[in-house]
Amino acid sequence: MKNIETKDRFLVFDLLRFIATFIILFHHLPSYCFDFYNLKNFGINIDLSVCNELNTYLGLSLFIFMSGYLINVKKTSFLDWTTVGTFLYKRIIRIFPMYYIALVFFCYILNISEPLRIIIHILGLQSLLFSKHLPSLPTLWFVGTILVYYCIFIFCKAEKIRNIYRLLAIGIFPFIVSFASTSLHFMDYRISLYYWIFIFGIYCAESKILETSWLKKNTFIITAGFVCIFISCFFLEKKYGIDDLGLIKSYTILNILMFSFILSIYGICNAIAKILKSSQVVQAIAYASYGMYLFHRPIWFFLRKIVQQGMEINNQYIVMAIEIFIGIPIIFVFAYLVQSFYERYCIQYLQNTNMS
């Protein structure tokens, strides 16, 4: 999810960020107005609420895939602890300051006051130390998970580790996490769930497999396959509940859904990028995507509070319209300004401080 300089940006990934951002926004929006996926609220006897339950996997899988891909674009390798420290420092100064602003908002909104829980989130350990007594804050759990993945990336690219040990550790890690989360009720299961998506992103940047002619020529077939898989998951979730099918089945089904979506949407965005060449709107939203992810819940929370308590507007349709047509622009502008200010005045200072 990190932002990179405009000259190094890929329009394909800007489009992917754009899509992922709005999937997440419209996944969370019902929490601040009403369940508009249930068309019964509009007089239509169709309930599409299951689509929203599946959307979270689609949006997050895109963000995680991009994280794995973009950190490996330059095919980084780690020779010693100095290169590891430099890599982590660059990621930390890009992620944590804006994350801390969001953390303050979330602690206020959710009335979080337990010192230990706050400290764990400050350190970014919420996914590793996750338990029923120390649950991760909604949305912000992603930061803790992506930090774990960055450590996985360092291990994957460490030159002094033999390939056989590297492959064994990569293969065993998700099973360790699954065991710890399901049997010991310790660690966040989502580390394991999205793990292969992240590894796939690293591999794609390394191998350029997404640029093969076969994938480009068969985008329509891949997309049709994804639609069929999504429809199948829709009925599975509606009738049985995918999570209730058992760990192995649900893990496999959700990964098939996410992988098919990534291949499909990447092919579509690749085709669109060739036609568009550039798009200022897409690039601007992609630039602000990390901030929009962090701040959309707090902004919608305060906006709803102003509308319902300050303006005494309780009509659910008017509230929804305000959250969409006023809230989303506010989310974008706020995220864009914070991102711009931080990059202009803070990141350069922190980078220069580290070099001096």
pTM of the complete model: 0.93
In a domain, 21, yes or no: yes
Whether 124 is covered by a domain: the verdict is yes
Tens of pLDDT, residues 215-269: 888 999 999 999 999 999 999 999 999 999 999 999 999 999 999 999 999 999 9
- pLDDT the model gives residue 214: 87
Contacts of 345 (CB under 8 A, 6+ apart): none
**Rg of the chain over CA atoms, in angstroms?**
21
Provide the pLDDT for residue 55: 94
What SS3 string covers 114-178? Answer: CHHHHHHHHHCCCCCCCCCCCCCCCCCHHHHHHHHHHHHHHHHCECCCCHHHHHHHHHHHHHHHH
pLDDT of residue 141: 96
Residues 6+ apart with CB under 8 A from 314: 308
| Residue 1 domain flag | no
Q: Which of 197, 203, 330, 218 is nearest to 270 (CA)?
A: 218
Specify whether the CB–CB gap between 301 and 295 falls below 8 A.
no
Q: 3-state class of 345 per DSSP?
A: helix
Position 341 in a domain: yes
What count of Cα atoms within 13 Å lies in the side-chain half-sphere of residue 318? 7
Q: Measure CA 269 to chain center.
A: 18
Q: How many domains does the chain contain in total?
A: 1
335 falls within a domain: yes
- What confidence score (pLDDT) does residue 353 get? 63
d(Cα 51, Cα 271) in Å, to the nearest integer? 25
- 271 vs 11, 265, 266, 354, CA distance in Å? 11, 10, 9, 41
Total residues found in the chain within this entry: 356
pLDDT at 290: 97
Asked whether residue 327 is assigned to any structural domain, the reply reads: yes
Q: Which residues constitute the domain of residue 259?
A: 6-355
As beta bridge partners, residue 38 has: 47
* Residue numbers in the chain where pLDDT is lower than 70: 1-9, 352-356
Residue 319 is assigned to a structural domain of this protein: yes
pLDDT at 8: 37
| CA gap 330, 316 in Å, rounded | 20
DSSP letter (8 states) at residue 277:
S
In a domain, 255, yes or no: yes
Q: What is the pLDDT of residue 2?
A: 42
Q: Measured between alpha carbons, how far is 164 from 17 in angstroms, rounded to an integer? A: 34
pLDDT in tens, 139-156: 999 999 999 999 999 999
Q: Can you read off the two tokens belonging to residue 171?
A: 């293969």
pLDDT value of position 3 = 42
